[in-house]
Amino acid sequence: MELIIIGGGPIGIACGLEAKKKGIPYVIIEKGTIVNSLFNYPVNMQFFSSSERLEIDEIPFISKEAKPKRNEALEYYRRIVTSNKLNIHLFEEVSEIAKEEETFTVQTDKASYSAKNVIIATGFYDLPNPLGVRGEDLPKVSHYYKDPHYYASQKLAVIGASNSAVDAALECWRKGAEVSMIIRGPEVGQRVKYWVRPDILNRIEEGSITAYYNSTVTEIRENELIIDTPEGERTLENDFVLALTGYQPNFDFLEAAGIRLSDDPKRLPDYNPETMETNIKGLYLAGVICGGMETHKWFIENSREHAQLILRHIVAKQKDPASV
């Protein structure tokens, strides 16, 4: 086989479409369902980007509003996969990438594959940033938010001030939860969706949602939450905690494959931005995983072109291996 694509999200799908157009034999390997990360987004989530910015391969994305919702995105990407009959293996997890001479071996929990080229397009949604506090492993703590109904009539603490945290706080409050937000900085994040930020600020100002600014969680207990605030330690009654503090790529997986990462906190992977090829010849990165810890840098709208860059380079190598 010529190409293995690891990750069946929008960018992995874009790479599959580009490979198919160029006649490159390929397979997409995805550990979950089609666009698994999007599937695990909150049920009512609305994208910051407009539908045309989420399009791949110039396939029109029609949505009811300018900014589509999760269910519309799932329909869009699923139809692309099925109508184009992409070669995708679902619910199959890659455990290892190894290279011997000019051939990669990709081992999964179901099979072993060989290919001349590999694209890693796995995103960063699977590994949440840990709080690193006692009680984080209690069943009442989650790093993922799905449906507000679950928290109705409960004392809910939302940790964070990003889009995901603000959406969760507002939705859960509107379904009857008693919501407190624990915010490390002095304000709600400036990158919060512009039509949502005034809503959360107004709810905080009127006292419907309690916000603790410049505060951190120091311990999570069965029925309580201990936080450090500028006024000193506070103990909050608590039933559930949503620790929506962001996510990070699987750096161990990248390093095990031989990809160099920067020594600074950004942990940027080593790749050529003109071809997306890493320091390992034939091993490419695509999508948000290129940003290391700068997970806000890459999105669908500005990384969909990675597919064209990569496949153009692969085709050039086929035509003249000595020239690239």
155, 41 in Cβ contact below 8 A?
no
> Taking the CB of residue 152, how many other CB atoms lie within 10 A of it?
12
Which two tokens mark 185?
Answer: 């900085």
For residues 283 and 251, give the distance between their C-alpha atoms in angstroms, rounded to a whole number: 15
Instruction: Tell whether 119 and 26 lie within a shared domain.
Output: yes
Name the domain count of the chain: 2
* CATH code for the domain of 114: 3.50.50.60
Instruction: Tell whether 234 and 255 lie within a shared domain.
Output: no
Instruction: State pLDDT tens for residues 224-252.
Output: 999 999 999 999 999 999 999 988 889 99
Instruction: State pLDDT tens for residues 173-193.
Output: 999 999 999 999 999 988 898
For residues 289 and 298, give the distance between their C-alpha atoms in angstroms, rounded to a whole number: 8
Instruction: Tell whether 235 and 258 lie within a shared domain.
Output: no
Q: Percent of the chain scored above 90 by pLDDT?
A: 81
Instruction: Tell whether 61 and 148 lie within a shared domain.
Output: no
> Taking the CB of residue 194, how many other CB atoms lie within 10 A of it?
9
Instruction: Assign 315 a pLDDT band (cuts: 50, 70, 90).
Output: very high
Instruction: Tell whether 102 and 251 lie within a shared domain.
Output: yes
For residues 7 and 253, give the distance between their C-alpha atoms in angstroms, rounded to a whole number: 13
Mean pLDDT of 42-69: 91
Per the listing, tokens 């304000």 go with 187
- C-alpha distance from residue 40 to each of 44, 70, 143, 191 (Å): 11, 9, 12, 21
Pick from 188, 210, 243: which residue ends a domain? 243
Instruction: Tell whether 136 and 121 lie within a shared domain.
Output: no
| pLDDT mean across residues, the chain | 94
- Predicted confidence at residue 324, as pLDDT, reads 61
Which of 10-14, 32-36, 89-93, 248-252 has the lowest average pLDDT?
248-252
Instruction: State pLDDT tens for residues 144-161.
Output: 999 999 999 999 999 999
> Does pTM top 0.75 for this prediction?
yes
Instruction: Tell whether 319 and 224 lie within a shared domain.
Output: no
Mean pLDDT of 80-90: 97
Which of 51-55, 153-157, 170-174 has the lowest average pLDDT?
51-55
Mean pLDDT of 256-267: 94
Mean pLDDT of 101-115: 96
Instruction: Tell whether 137 and 114 lie within a shared domain.
Output: no
Pick from 243, 261, 291: which residue ends a domain? 243
Pick from 198, 215, 243: which residue ends a domain? 243
Mean pLDDT of 203-220: 97
Q: For residue 156, what are the contacts with CB-CB under 8 A and spacing of at least 6?
A: 172, 177, 178, 179, 180, 238, 239, 240, 241, 242
CA 74, distance to chain mean position in Å, is: 15
- Predicted confidence at residue 225, as pLDDT, reads 97
Mean pLDDT of 124-140: 91
In which domain, by residue range, is 262 found? 3-127+247-323
37: left (phi over 0), alpha (psi -120 to 50) or beta: alpha
Which of 122, 128, 123 shows the shortest CA–CA distance to 145? 128
Residue 106 burial (CB < 10 Å; 0-12/13-18/19+)?
buried
* No. of helices (H) and no. of strands (E), the chain: 8, 18
Instruction: Tell whether 116 and 265 lie within a shared domain.
Output: yes
Phi and psi, residue 115, nearest 5°: -160, 160
Highest mean pLDDT among 9-18, 56-65, 122-131: 9-18
Instruction: Tell whether 95 and 148 lie within a shared domain.
Output: no
pLDDT of residue 48 exceeding 70? yes
Instruction: Assign 201 a pLDDT band (cuts: 50, 70, 90).
Output: very high
Instruction: Tell whether 62 and 175 lie within a shared domain.
Output: no
> Taking the CB of residue 4, how many other CB atoms lie within 10 A of it?
23
Instruction: Tell whether 179 and 228 lie within a shared domain.
Output: yes
Phi and psi, residue 27, nearest 5°: -145, 140
